[in-house]
Amino acid sequence: MLETETKIYAFMRSAFDLLLTGVDESKFADQPMPGMNPPAWILGHLAIVADRGCEVLGAPRQLSEAWHNQFGPGSTPSSKLSDYPSKAELLAALDAGHARLSSLALAADPALLAEPHGRERIAALLPTKGDLVAMMMTAHEGTHLGQLSTWRRCIGIPPLF
């Protein structure tokens, strides 16, 4: 059902690859400004958001509760690289989450997408499961893409776009 959103989601995933090209894993926890989300946290966060999107669409979570706690809303990003999974693990979790959420979104029953999601904080603006998943796949992903682009500039890597 969410064909356009799925295309945008795939486009943004490819943009993450562009932004991460040439970024050494040793920098993945760097916070050039206090509280700035480093790449390791951003990738882990997007992986758990994809997992939550799958849950909204009726599938069980695949990532551990530890991942959800470490990368969930309200978590505090660490500046210690050893606090994070490896770059390969983070990218694998992101890719698996993207593939799974995309598949579920494309196959979602319109009746399921029309159901309320139960998250009071955003229900007035995004009342349905379809609205929530569409936001997760587009606006939310784009927000963190922008954070990664800004992070690159802050550590002295030239902008790509």
| CB-based contacts of 123, cutoff 8 Å, min separation 6 | 116, 117
pLDDT reported for residue 108:
98
Band of the pLDDT at 4, cuts 50, 70, 90?
Answer: very high
pLDDT in tens, 81-118: 999 999 999 999 999 999 999 999 999 999 999 999 99
Q: Is the pLDDT of residue 161 over 80?
A: no
pLDDT in tens, 22-48: 899 999 999 999 999 999 999 999 999
Q: Is the pLDDT of residue 160 over 90?
A: no
Q: What is the pTM of this model?
A: 0.96
Question: Where does 3-154 sit in CATH, by number?
Answer: 1.20.120.450
Q: Domain locations in the chain?
A: 3-154
Tokens found for residue 12: 């943004």
Tokens found for residue 19: 């932004």
Neighbours of 137 (CB within 10 A): 26
Rounded distance between C-alpha atoms, residue 64 and residue 48, angstroms: 9
